[in-house]
Amino acid sequence: MDYGKQAVEQVPSPPFQWQKAAQQITDLMTITILSLSVTTCLTILAYRGSGSMALLLAQALASVVVLLHVGVGAMLTRLVVHAAVTWKRLQSGGKRTAQSKHLRKVLMRLAGITLMTWIWAICMTGFPFSISVVKWSPETGALLIFLMPLMLIFLLMKKILINQACTKLIHAITNAEQVAKCTLVV
């Protein structure tokens, strides 16, 4: 008898912590927004001055912003997958309640936001390379500097949207699980 394998099989997996996951996503979005703000400032310094060090720092920080945004997409995907598994588990019990339908609706909305996040992350992969345009073509660089605050506003609005969707998801999961416990299947 292999006792090591038996001991591993008996350890239950810890429950998914919805509040912690939502807070981590919000924190990562905040760090992304702050990093993009510093990138914008460094790009303006590179545009106004002649130092290439500010431009290199801006490009490096822009790469970090892209990686942070990919991290947000990965964390949102993980949250959606866990929510879908929870919804499927509630459906498999034969308990199709109004709260379960509401959970599905909230889940689909969060899945759409996740898809939008991945599309934006893919589009942002060229962002670090576009910062060097500030030195090559100052007119185009001025347009880029004008668009960076718009990206900040977009990310801030997206952070608010993600925060609201995660809060609704947490409440919907809690309500659906409570109703499923009280519902008898005939």
In the chain, where the domains are located: 18-181
Does residue 17 register a pLDDT over 90? no
Q: What is the pLDDT of residue 7?
A: 45
Long-range contacts of 72-77 (CB under 8 A, 24+ apart): 72/25, 72/28, 72/29, 72/32, 72/117, 72/121, 72/162, 73/114, 73/117, 73/118, 73/121, 75/21, 75/24, 75/25, 75/28, 76/25, 76/110, 76/113, 76/114, 76/117, 76/162, 77/114, 77/118
Does residue 6 register a pLDDT over 60? no
pLDDT tens profile 111-138: 999 999 999 999 999 888 888 877 777 7
pTM for the structure as a whole:
0.81
Q: What is the pLDDT of residue 131?
A: 82
Does residue 66 register a pLDDT over 90? yes
Please give the mean pLDDT across all residues of the chain: 84
